[in-house]
Chains A and B, each alone.
Chain A
């Protein structure tokens, strides 16, 4: 998206003024409205589709497989495919590495079946279209797909180290997966203002961006900066990081409960 010089300076001035005026009139803490659909893929254990009001869309599938965790302790596998980008594109790789790190925060004990076996989760993300940085949307997608994931109920013994047996499952009873994945928030910085969930036009003029991760009521690593455009990026006042963290701390639980309420 290329904007004209006049558009950019208009947007910049609006976002930099106190209080900031966003092009769609949102509050600094307000997200674009989203639509969430879950559990529409019968051949996956969990699935979700998230669409933001600007048309950005992402689909997540969760499939589970029983593995011997004594030999394979990597219980989460995530793959991100961004339509129109190559698999080795910078954006795809940086998203994948970010989520690989983030999902380490998930309590893997919840995936354990027996002393020997665990579920391994394959999380596949497909970004159909995105107008700005998709990480926030992807994290919402992962959150709601894991939230909708149900796994077969174990009926065999937990202790299988002594007796050699494969885990046995109930024919149709399912157990809801109880993991809480982290959420990722993108914040845009313009001059001395910071605001959440920047839209494409806001990204074009932002001086910098921040990625802040959150789970279970607290801020977690990674927190990092993110250049939202090639032309306007420059340094910012470090106090804004504090301000951004406060913003996320205050409003993230609202997002989490909105995502759970399906």
Chain B
């Protein structure tokens, strides 16, 4: 294959895998079972009159009866008609206590309180920013939900309203936490912690949100001096590891006994074990610097190449529709060192290999354990 361009080609077809089942009725010899004869093809599809609730692994499609047992509460992806609960999307059934819902196979990001997301400012309006987080609606970030320069004790003033664009403007990327949800499902964000805020020193990658699994921690330091922020909404930020990122990895020195000691004044888990330093740092970081547009001048070309490599690995995992986790990225990163040339990682067969190797590696480890 040429290294200039890699091509997948096929003649006489619209796409790579032509549709799984083909129903040739045009040229068939009209034997009854091959054609869409109306006679007799329907009755085998009759639903039973009463039905037990479907199990978790069952695939539901719109209009399908889930249960006629009225004890269930109806959640997302269902609707209720004449004492029966039906599915309104294609997906799998989820039962939490008495709440019955159908999780669609795929949809736009649906925010939940506590989610760590990466977003892009779409609009600056009255005392709030509207943030694109890949959801059905823009999320809201209130002026009062961000740390402003000058530390936490500082009062908010009218001048802050007038200079909102000097903090965050259209196009700016930030990471934030979903603080609450509005009635209509839109998210309200906050960045009142040192781990949230404007993003710098790196590159943005987007993957389908279904590939990011909600977990305790979404910021990971990776080998090669890179930190990744895996937004639950499928927006990913890759950056050079900062001192702040490294601080998180340090063991909580001395204050391990008192769990409250590691809490920073913003209520977030402190990034630095020593609470004294934490406050000093907060003041230092709460200066204008946290809204700076300047990148760190020390990003070397080697770091940039590593970021590109990670970006390609993440895209390859997404291409194979494999869930994206820190472990998988690291496994692949180490294995990708065999490809000297980062650009070759975007070729289709290499992406498929990457996905396969990750799954194989996991199988091997699983059998060893």
Say yes or no for A169: interface residue by CB 8 A criterion.
Answer: no
Residues of A within 8 A of B120 (CB): 2, 4
Say yes or no for B204: interface residue by CB 8 A criterion.
Answer: yes
- CA–CA, A7 to B173, complex, Å? 9
| A20-28, A156-164, A208-216 - the one binding chain B | A20-28
Residues of A within 8 A of B347 (CB): 33
B331-347: CB near A (< 8 Å → 1, else 0) gives: 00000000001110111
Q: Do A33 and B346 touch across chains, with their CB atoms under 8 A apart?
A: yes
Interface residues on B, range: 35 or more
Partner of A37 from B13, B172, B341 at Cβ < 8 Å: B13
Say yes or no for B215: interface residue by CB 8 A criterion.
Answer: no
Given contacts A23-B311, A25-B305, A35-B16, contact A7 B4 (CB under 8 A): no
Closest B residue to A42 by beta carbon equals: B12
Say yes or no for B355: interface residue by CB 8 A criterion.
Answer: no
Q: How many residues of A contact B (CB 8 A)?
A: 42
Q: In the complex, how many angstroms separate the beta carbon of B207 from the nearest chain A beta carbon? A: 13
Say yes or no for A31: interface residue by CB 8 A criterion.
Answer: yes
Q: Do B295 and A36 touch across chains, with their CB atoms under 8 A apart?
A: no
Q: In the complex, how many angstroms separate the beta carbon of A209 from the nearest chain B beta carbon? A: 19
Partner of B305 from A4, A21, A38, A262 at Cβ < 8 Å: A21
Q: Do A34 and B10 touch across chains, with their CB atoms under 8 A apart?
A: no
Interfacial residues of chain B within 219-253, with CB under 8 A of chain A in the complex: none
Q: Do B204 and A7 touch across chains, with their CB atoms under 8 A apart?
A: yes
Q: Do B343 and A31 touch across chains, with their CB atoms under 8 A apart?
A: no
Interfacial residues of chain A within 4-23, with CB under 8 A of chain B in the complex: 4-7, 9-11, 13-14, 17, 21-23
Most buried by A among B7, B172, B204, B299: B7
Residues of A within 8 A of B8 (CB): 33-36
Given contacts A14-B304, A31-B4, A255-B4, contact A25 B293 (CB under 8 A): no
- CA–CA, A31 to B344, complex, Å? 11
- CA–CA, A227 to B345, complex, Å? 29
A222-262: CB near B (< 8 Å → 1, else 0) gives: 00000000000000000000000000000100110111011
Say yes or no for A207: interface residue by CB 8 A criterion.
Answer: no
Say yes or no for B97: interface residue by CB 8 A criterion.
Answer: no
Residues of A within 8 A of B10 (CB): 36-38, 262
Interfacial residues of chain B within 340-362, with CB under 8 A of chain A in the complex: 341-343, 345-348
Say yes or no for B69: interface residue by CB 8 A criterion.
Answer: no
Residue contacts A-B, CB under 8 angstroms, 26 given: A2-B171, A4-B120, A6-B172, A9-B295, A10-B202, A11-B203, A21-B304, A24-B311, A25-B345, A26-B346, A30-B5, A32-B5, A33-B5, A33-B348, A34-B5, A34-B8, A35-B8, A35-B16, A37-B14, A148-B11, A251-B4, A257-B2, A258-B7, A261-B7, A262-B10, A262-B11
